[in-house]
Amino acid sequence: MKIEELVASKNIADGLSEDKVNEIGRLCKQGFDDDETSRAPWKEWNAKALKLALQVAESKRFPWPGCANVKFPLLTIAALAWHSKAYPALISGDDVVKYKVVGKDPDNVKADRASRKGKYMSYKLLENSSWEEQTDKGLLVLSILGTIFKKTVRDNNEKRNCSDLVMPQDLVVDYYTADMDSATRVSHKFTLSKNTVREYVLQGFYLDTLTEPQPAPIGALEAAKDKAQHLTAPQNSSVYNLVEQSCLLDLDEDGYHEPYAVTFEQETGKVVRILARYYKNDIKRIETGKNKGEIYKIIPENYYTKFELIPSPDGGFYGLGFGLLLGPINDSVNTALNQVFDAGTMKTLGGGFLGRGARIKGGEATFKPYEWKTVDSTGDNLRNNIVPLTVTDA
């Protein structure tokens, strides 16, 4: 296919051979799986932070079953305190989009134009009922996990611009990625209902290659979320688990890899759509010399914007949140509190050793208030054969 056909096509996969489409799906799924594996420790750590923030109390059997299991809300308090200041600073009434006049403007012509554009853009953002809700949720997630993403695209089907929140666990990047603009592979995990997929197939946006939906694999972050919300994933999935991967492919076979967005099923790698991530104006060709007319660069469309709470000091891709900064302290506070309560339990309930001279019936010897028990031993003999366990005050 020529580059002009690739740009204009609403689904490039429809014009490729089945073998070519399957090969692209295999390569994209392999890259996605490799990137997921490379960030497994990051997911485990963030799952732990999420449990702390959501006050998830997991079962404990040390020092005994049913011991104290208090979760002090240190991380939750810090996240809510930051969120309560960040939200009104960003969204104050209907004035969401701010503007800045660059250069001289003695007659306020630029300022008036910028003000009108700002009001219109604020109206369009707030017109979308989910934008403010997603921004509110995103700020809270940002404070805990340190990184969130926004996906900004044009929905030609709905005839509107979309700016949707993407959770950090749903956006998988190449291990060597330093920033979003230079990323060679970015994978976005999302779900679609069977009915929506059918609509896209009938409109020609998707290939009709999917069979029945398959349950998505449960990772550390997904398990933490389910445990916090007291949910269990169903055995038979009613949604398709898809991945939209921004990657580089050489579909016109000129030796230069162009930027595309490949949508495939997460479990099987079946491709349903390939879309160009560039326009004709983004294609740069050599204007003179023996290589005149050849493509030397294509400027890709970047759908994603990254937001960080604190940039990683070591130059890593993911930012730092309160989950990483306060997590160890929160764990220490939880341990100290539970030790105090367990020591109080031991001190209150007591316990110790019974000698053979204390002729008491076997089994547990517990007492209710105002209860007296009859034994076959004298007072002195009983006293000498009962040794309480020494428990120091906490």
- C-alpha to C-alpha distance for 59 and 337, rounded to whole angstroms: 16
Nearest to 204 by CA among 5, 4, 9, 11: 11
Measured at the alpha carbon of residue 346, what is the angle toward residues 345 and 347, in degrees to the nearest 5?
90
pLDDT tens-digit profile of 42-64? 988 888 898 888 888 778 888 88
76-84 contacts, C-beta under 8 A, 24 or more apart: 76/52, 78/143, 78/322, 78/326, 79/53, 79/140, 79/143, 79/144, 79/322, 80/140, 82/143, 82/322, 83/139, 83/140, 83/143
Whole-number pLDDT of residue 363: 67
Is pLDDT of 356 > 90?
no
Longest dimension (CA), the chain: 114
CA 162, 167, 171, 176 torsion-angle sign: positive
pLDDT tens-digit readout, 97-112: 888 888 898 889 999 9
- Amino acid 350: pLDDT: 76
Checking if the pLDDT of 145 tops 70, the result is yes
Give the pLDDT confidence score for residue 94 in this predicted structure: 80
What does the pLDDT read at residue 17? 93
Confidence of residue 394 (pLDDT cuts 50, 70, 90): low
Q: Which residue, 30, 5, 51, 40, is CA-closest to 228?
A: 51
Digit-coded pLDDT (tens) for 65-82: 888 999 999 999 999 999
pLDDT class of 367 with cuts at 50, 70, 90:
low
% pLDDT > 90, the chain: 48
Q: What is the pLDDT of residue 129?
A: 64
Q: What is the pLDDT of residues 157-173, one digit of tens each?
A: 767 778 899 999 999 99
Confidence check: pLDDT of 218 > 80: no
pLDDT for 293 beyond 90: no
The structure tokens listed for 24 are 């692209």
Q: Which residue has the tokens 């999917």?
A: 210
